[in-house]
């Protein structure tokens, strides 16, 4: 079963979370000023999820690994949570590669 993109709106901005089939958030978007821009971010994830070069693996100041997903234009599309180990982070990346392409869209903006 594929994951789900949940598109949300605050008072002035849009964002989305990609959730795995088990309901856990595996990627959180940047903030967008328009719904269309947020939808374009989702499409960028779907398009680029299989390309390992789009995952920028990082280590936070506290030593915990995490990653950012980068579009081909080098802009950050979304970021992961902090992981307890490098292996857990790699599992998160594999989850995106497995879930994103066919993930359903749940539009919670209305």
The Cα 110–Cα 80 span in angstroms is: 26
- Average pLDDT of the segment spanning 49-76: 95
Kindly report the pTM of this predicted structure.
Answer: 0.92
DSSP 24-93: -EEEEE--BSSHHHHHHHHHHHHHHTT-GGGEEEEE-TTS-EEEEEE-TTS-EEEE----SSHHHHHHHH
pLDDT score, position 42: 97
80-101 confidence digits (pLDDT tens): 999 999 999 999 999 999 889 9
* Beta-sheet pairing, 104-107 with 4-9: parallel
* Beta-sheet pairing, 104-107 with 76-79: unpaired
11-46 confidence digits (pLDDT tens): 899 999 999 988 999 999 999 999 999 999 999 999
Taken in order of first residue, the domains within the chain and their CATH numbers are 4-107 (2.30.29.80)
At residue 2, does pLDDT exceed 90? Answer: no
Q: Give which of 74, 105, 78 is closest to 92, Cα–Cα.
A: 78
């Amino acid at each position: 079963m594929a994951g789900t993109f949940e598109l949300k709106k605050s008072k002035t901005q849009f964002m989305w979370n990609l959730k795995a089939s088990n309901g856990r958030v595996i990627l959180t978007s940047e903030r967008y000023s328009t719904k269309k821009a947020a939808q374009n971010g989702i499409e960028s994830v779907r398009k680029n999820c299989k390309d390992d070069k789009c995952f920028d693996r990082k280590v936070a100041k506290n030593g915990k690994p995490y990653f950012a997903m980068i579009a081909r234009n080098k802009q950050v599309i979304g970021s992961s949570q902090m992981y307890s180990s490098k292996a857990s982070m790699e599992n998160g990346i594999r989850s995106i590669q497995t879930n994103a392409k066919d993930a359903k869209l749940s539009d919670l903006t209305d």
